[in-house]
Amino acid sequence: MAVIGRRRSDFVPADLDFEKLELEGHKRAISHYYEECWKDYRYFWLNRSNLAMHFGYWDESVTTHSQSLVRTNEVMADWADIRPGERVLDAGCGVGGSSMWLAENRGAVTVGVTITADQVMRARRYARERGLSEVCTFYNRDYRDTGFEDASFDVVWACESAAHAPDQSEFLREAFRVLKPGGRLMSRDLYVRRPAANDYERSLMETWQAAWALPNLPTHERFMEMAEECGFVVGRHMDVTSTAVRSGRRLYRMSMAVLPLETLLVKAGIRNETQHKNLTGPIAGWRGHQLGLWRAAHTLSRKPAS
C-alpha cells in the first residue's frame, strides 16, 4: 500500500516508447476518420467516375464540381510530366481515384498506399471493376515506411495527403529513398499562411485540423525547406489557393445547410462525434481561409540524377 511519493515512471516499463504510442494513436485517428466519414465523401463529394477525396482545381475549363476534381489530376500530371509506362507511387491514395485516372489517362503503372484498410479494400474493388488490377495495385502501408525497394519509382504523387503526417520530413525522406535518380515528387497540399494572431484564430485552426487529422501543418516555405534538407531540388511551385476556394466554399455551404439536422442526429445517436466534426471542421476551415490563415499549393521537386 505504500505508494505515496512514487513517480509515474515507477509504474511504467522502462522501454515503453511514448513517441511510438502517440504515432500509432494518430494513425488510428486517421483511419477512424476516413472509415467513419466515408459515406459523407461518397454521397456528397465524389462519384464513381472520379473517386476523388481532394479539393477541386477550378479554372476556365471547369464548369462543375466533378470536373474540378478531375482537373486536379490533370494539372498535377501535367506538372509532373507523367508518361506511359512510368511507375507512380500514390502516397496516401484514398480509394484509388488518382491512381486509376493516371493509369487510364497517362498510361502509368500505379501503386497506392494508405494506412486505412477500408480504403484499400474499396480501391482494389474499384480497380477490378475497371479492369485495372494489373496496372493499379493498392497496399495497407504507411507512406513514411512503405517497404518498397530503393529507387523503384519514377514519380511519387501526394495529393493532399502529406498534411496527415505529424512530421512531413519523414514522408519526404521516404519519397526520396524510393524515387529513382531524376525521379519527381508531385505534391499538392494545404499549408499555414501565417500564425494565428488571437484565440479565435487559433480555435478555428485547431477545430479544422483536429476534424481532418491534420496534426502539424507547416508553411509552404517550410515544406520546401524540408524537401531540400532531404535531398530534393525544388523546382516549380505555386500558390493555387484561388483554384481551390470554390471547393472550400462548397463544403462550408453544405455543412452550414445541414448542421441543424446534423446536431439532432448526433443527439439521437445516429451520427457520431467524428462525423459531426467532419461538418464543423470545414466551417472553421473556411472562416480561417477568409482570415488568410492557410493556403493551398503545388510543389514539383526532383531527386538529383546523380
- Confidence tier at 10 by pLDDT (50, 70, 90): very low
For the cut 50, the answer to whether the pLDDT of residue 8 exceeds it is no
Segment 74-81 mean pLDDT: 98
* CATH entry 3.40.50.150 includes domain 22-196+214-243+294-302: yes
User: pLDDT digits over 120-130, tens only?
Assistant: 999 999 999 99
Burial of 202 (0-12, 13-18, 19+ CB in 10 A): middle
For the cut 80, the answer to whether the pLDDT of residue 17 exceeds it is no
CA angle at 275 for the pair 256 and 196, rounded to the nearest 5°: 65
d(CA 105, CA 293): 35
- Closest by Cα among 38, 37, 301 to 171: 301
User: pLDDT digits over 182-219, tens only?
Assistant: 999 999 999 999 999 999 999 999 999 999 999 999 99
Residue 232 identity (one-letter amino acid): F
Segment 88-99 mean pLDDT: 98
| pLDDT computed for residue 11 by the predictor | 40
3-state secondary structure of 111: strand
Mean pLDDT for all residues in the chain: 93
For the cut 70, the answer to whether the pLDDT of residue 170 exceeds it is yes
Classify the phi-psi angles of 151: left when phi > 0, otherwise alpha if psi is within -120 to 50, otherwise beta.
left
| pLDDT computed for residue 159 by the predictor | 98
Residue 148 identity (one-letter amino acid): F
CA distances from 212 to 23, 73, 139, 200, 242 (A): 16, 21, 22, 19, 21
- All structural domains of the chain with their residue ranges: 22-196+214-243+294-302
CA angle at 223 for the pair 218 and 228, rounded to the nearest 5°: 150
| pLDDT computed for residue 6 by the predictor | 43
- Tell me phi and psi for residue 32, to 5 degrees: -60, -40
* pTM for this entry: 0.92
| pLDDT computed for residue 15 by the predictor | 53
d(CA 287, CA 248): 10
- Confidence tier at 279 by pLDDT (50, 70, 90): very high
Segment 87-116 mean pLDDT: 98
